Amino acid sequence: MRRSTPPRRSRSSTRIGVRGLGMYVPPKVLTNVDLEKMVDTNDEWIRTRTGICERRVAEPGTASSDLAYKAAQEALTQAELDPKDVELLIVATTTPDMLFPSTSCLVQERLGASSAVCFDLSAACSGSIFAIITAQQYLLTGRYRNALVVGAEVLSSFIDWTDRSTCVLFGDGAGACVLAPVRRGGILATDMGSDGSAAQLLYMPGGGSKHPPSHASVDQRLHFLRMNGTEIFKLAVRRMANSAKRVVKAAKLDPREVDCFIPHQANTRIIEAVAKWADLPMEKVYMNLQRYGNTSAASNLIALYEAVRDGVIQRDDHVVMVAFGAGLTWGSLLLQW
Ligand code: UT7
**Residues whose CB falls within 8 Å of the CB of residue 252, separated by 6 or more in sequence, listed in order:** none
Does residue 3 carry a pLDDT above 50?
no
- List, for residues 222-277, the tens digit of each pLDDT value: 999 999 999 999 999 999 999 999 999 999 999 999 999 999 999 999 999 999 99
Q: What values do phi and psi take at 284, rounded to 5?
A: -100, 0
With b for 16 or more beta-carbon neighbours within 10 A and e for fewer, the 82-119 pattern comes to ebeebbbbbbbbbbbbeeeebbbbbbbeebebebbbbe
Residue (of 221, 283, 233) closest to 255 by Cα position: 283
Amino acid 336: pLDDT = 98
Mean pLDDT for all residues in the chain: 95
Do the Cβ atoms of 134 and 121 come closer than 8 Å?
yes
Cα of 337 from ligand 1 centre, angstroms: 36
Name the architecture of domain 2-182.
3-Layer(aba) Sandwich (3.40)
Query: 142: CA distance to ligand 1 center in Å?
Result: 46
Choice among 2-16, 22-36, 71-85, 115-129 with the minimum mean pLDDT: 2-16
Q: For atom 6 of ligand 1, which residue has the closest CA?
A: 266
**Nearest Cα residue to atom 36 of ligand 1:** 165
With a 6 A CB cut-off, is 168 part of the ligand 1 pocket?
Answer: yes
In which band, very low, low, confident or very high, does the pLDDT at 89 lie, cut at 50, 70 and 90? very high
Which is more confident, 7 or 21?
21
- Could you give the 3-state DSSP secondary structure of residue 83? helix
Q: What is the DSSP letter of 116?
A: -
Confidence category of residue 81, pLDDT binned at 50, 70, 90? very high
Stretch 89-103: mean pLDDT: 98
Which pLDDT score is estimated for 13? 75
Per-residue pLDDT of 275-315, as tens digits, reads 999 999 999 999 999 999 999 999 999 999 999 999 999 99
User: What's residue 133's pLDDT?
Assistant: 98
Distance CA(117)–CA(120), nearest Å, equals 11
5 pLDDT band, cuts 50/70/90, is: very low
Strand residues in 115-232 grouped as ranges (E): 117-121, 147-153, 173-182, 186-194, 202-203, 226-227
Cβ neighbours around 265 below 10 Å, total: 30
Torsion angles phi and psi, residue 13, rounded to 5: -80, -5
Flag whether pLDDT at 10 surpasses 70.
no
Active site residue ranges? 125, 264, 294
Nearest to 175 by CA among 87, 318, 290, 78: 78
Residue 142, ligand 1, Cβ within 6 A: no
pLDDT at 219 exceeding the cut of 60:
yes
Which residue owns the Cα nearest ligand 1 atom 25? 230
Measured in residues, the chain has a length of 337
Q: What is the pLDDT of residues 132-191, one digit of tens each?
A: 999 999 999 999 999 999 999 999 999 999 999 999 999 999 999 999 999 999 999 999
Ligand 1 pocket, residue 271 CB under 6 Å = no
* Confidence check: pLDDT of 33 > 90: yes
**What pLDDT was estimated at residue 12?**
55
CA distance 2 to 12: 26
Among 4-18, 75-89, 251-265, whose mean pLDDT is lowest? 4-18
Mean pLDDT of 19-24: 98
Judge if 2-182 and 188-336 fold alike in CATH terms: yes
Helix (H, G, I), strand (E, B) or coil at 205: coil
- Ligand 1 within 6 A of CB of 228: no
Q: Where are the domains of the chain?
A: 2-182, 188-336
Distance 225 CA to ligand 1 centre (A): 15
Decide whether any atom of ligand 1 lies within 6 Å of the 229 Cβ. Answer: yes
50 Cα nearest atom in ligand 1: 15
Average pLDDT value for residue range 18-41: 98
pLDDT digits (tens, 9 = 90+) for 107-134: 999 999 999 999 999 999 999 999 999 9
CA nearest neighbour of 170 among 179, 160, 178: 160
pTM score, whole prediction: 0.95
Cα–Cα distance measured from residue 29 to residue 17, given in angstroms and rounded to the nearest whole number: 33
CA-nearest residue, atom 43 of ligand 1: 165
Q: What is the mean pLDDT of residues 302-331?
A: 98
The CATH number corresponding to 188-336 among 3.40.1350.10, 3.40.47.10, 3.60.20.10, 3.40.50.10540 equals 3.40.47.10
Per-residue CA distances from 285 to 106, 253, 264, 272 (Å): 35, 17, 11, 9
